[in-house]
Chain A
Amino acid sequence: DADVTQTPRNRITKTGKRIMLECSQTKGHDRMYWYRQDPGLGLRLIYYSFDVKDINKGEISDGYSVSRQAQAKFSLSLESAIPNQTALYFCATSDPDRVLDGELFFGEGSRLTVL
């Protein structure tokens, strides 16, 4: 089983709908991240969380919200989806005790299409 699991893997929705993407991890890491990938733009950080009570905005947080329900769970919500939120979304974790490694551990991605 994957250490970082994202659901759903694929979702097609309509403009104005509320969407939630979920991420759960079994790595025991405190730090979790949500990224968005667009072709030719690489990955951009939406939100990150260092623990259940610590949530921070990233580079492109407008139009998104997050919830850290537990150490192992970090959800991303689009309150009212719009077509330019069509993208591939990744959840990632990192281990604060191994920060010098600089390694992120990624889920397999959630592809969202907003019509």
Chain B
Amino acid sequence: AQSVTQLDSHVSVSEGTPVLLRCNYSSSYSPSLFWYVQHPNKGLQLLLKYTSAATLVKGINGFEAEFKKSETSFHLTKPSAHMSDAAEYFCVVSRDNYGQNFVFGPGTRLSVLP
């Protein structure tokens, strides 16, 4: 069985400050891990993915995430927040890369203050 915990339902940062969105997972397999972003009134878009290659993964728009097996974590970071980063972010775990096996976390809403 697999599960995802996103430790914060809402994170608020000031523009230009670092962003940290936390994700912990549980999986009986070596998982694939993803971060998706959902901007208001839009569908979800893939930010980045970990599929057992490098543990530090770089994604679009300056985001990156580090896979830490010992901590079962896959936290999403960005050095400097931009107003356009305000959105909902979903951490996803899968035992493979097949869409029907994705398990979505509950989401973290990121607010960016001017």
Contacts and interface: CB of A to CB of B under 8 A. Distances in A.
Contacts of A109: 41-43
Interface of B is mostly: mixed
Contact of B102 (A31, A99, A104, A107): A104
A41 interface: yes
Interface residues of B, number: 24
Interface residues of A, number: 26
A31 B99 contact: yes
A108 B97 contact: no
Interface of A: 4, 31, 33, 40-45, 48, 56, 58, 90, 92, 94, 99-109
B100 A56 contact: yes
A99 B100 CA distance: 11
B77 interface: no
Contacts, number: 64
A43 B44 CA distance: 10
30 contacts: A4-B43, A40-B106, A40-B107, A41-B106, A42-B4, A42-B90, A42-B106, A43-B102, A43-B104, A44-B104, A45-B100, A45-B102, A48-B100, A90-B43, A90-B44, A92-B44, A92-B99, A94-B98, A100-B51, A102-B32, A102-B97, A103-B49, A104-B44, A104-B46, A104-B99, A105-B43, A106-B43, A106-B45, A108-B43, A109-B43
Given A92-B99, A107-B43, A102 B34 contact: yes
